[in-house]
Amino acid sequence: MRFIKVISILFALIAGSYLVGQQLRSAGTSENGEPHDHQHAHGYDFQTKDQLLFIEEVDQPNGDVVIYAKNVGYCPLTLDIQFPDLTNMSTDVTLPYTAVVPTRAQKYKILTISPSKTLKSGSMSYRYSFNYNVGDILNAKHDDSYEYSLPFASDKSYVVGQGYGGRFSHQNMNCLDFNMDVGSKVCAARAGTVIRVKEDSNTGCKSSRCQGKANYIVVYHEDGTSARYIHLKHNGSKVKAGDKVKAGEVIGYSGNTGWSSGPHLHFEVNQPGKNVVYTVPTKFKTKKGVVTNLKEGSSYTAK
């Protein structure tokens, strides 16, 4: 199976310091970036300002500090943490450390930071950085045998305006554009859990000034992959984060929002990797049977 690299990282930096014998601790500071998945020159800029993972430090009576993670999302999150500074302190895990934080976990223990047991005087300090990825990158693996439904209503036919590796804007990407009028029904191609929805934009145009304005729905699948349905109309989602959807269920309505050359639905399936996301080729059920590679310029009818 061929994977193609697409995206980015969320970064945070947190620090703490101690003076042994004085019980003095400086307040930690944090700086959070936003995930930003810039896809291609034509179509969309998938992004969200919703932070899904939060870190909490809990001081222990013996001087230890326990690091916990909270996952407010509807799928697992993979956390990578490393310590640029760990002076006269240690952790109970081997660094750098990777942990998968379960879906909706409220207080998931990551690690414990402990003061040196032999230090009599002087300073101790720690500073750590972390990033997280949506999904379980340690175990996600696309089920290549799965036959997807076309992402539109049964018996409806649409032309593939741009296929895998399309020269216009899908270079080196396994993405599909279906030419659809605004307001056409968009259906789940596979069962899963809705993890992200954006429907507040009513802006679309052919230039980069509309970058980041695309509405979308993201559905997480049982094999750890997720599908993105992009360029939906304003207020064009019938689902919200946390909803369970079935294959063939109407989840929204197509539009022309974001950086787009004309009304269409952009569809892709992603597999998470370490600080990247891969677009995955998929097979589809159609009225004429299962098709392994939808051809650009051809029309297909949903079963």
- pLDDT per residue as tens digits for the range 34-60: 222 223 333 334 444 578 999 999 999
38 vs 136, which has greater pLDDT? 136
Could you give phi then psi for residue 58, rounded to 5 degrees? -120, 115
Top-level class of domain 6-134: mainly beta
Best-predicted range by mean pLDDT (9-23, 48-62, 203-217, 220-234): 220-234
Q: Using pLDDT thresholds of 50, 70 and 90, give the confidence band for residue 260.
A: confident
Using a cut of 0.75, tell me whether the model's pTM lies above it: yes
Q: Map out the domains of the chain as residue ranges.
A: 6-134, 147-301
CA gyration radius, the chain: 23
Q: Is the pLDDT of residue 115 over 60?
A: yes
Alpha carbon of 303 to those of 31, 72, 151, 192, 232: distances in Å?
49, 36, 11, 19, 22
Specify whether domain 147-301 bears CATH 2.40.50.840. Answer: no
Closest by CA to 73, choosing from 101, 45, 35, is 101
Please check the confidence at residue 231 and state whether its pLDDT lies above 90. Answer: yes
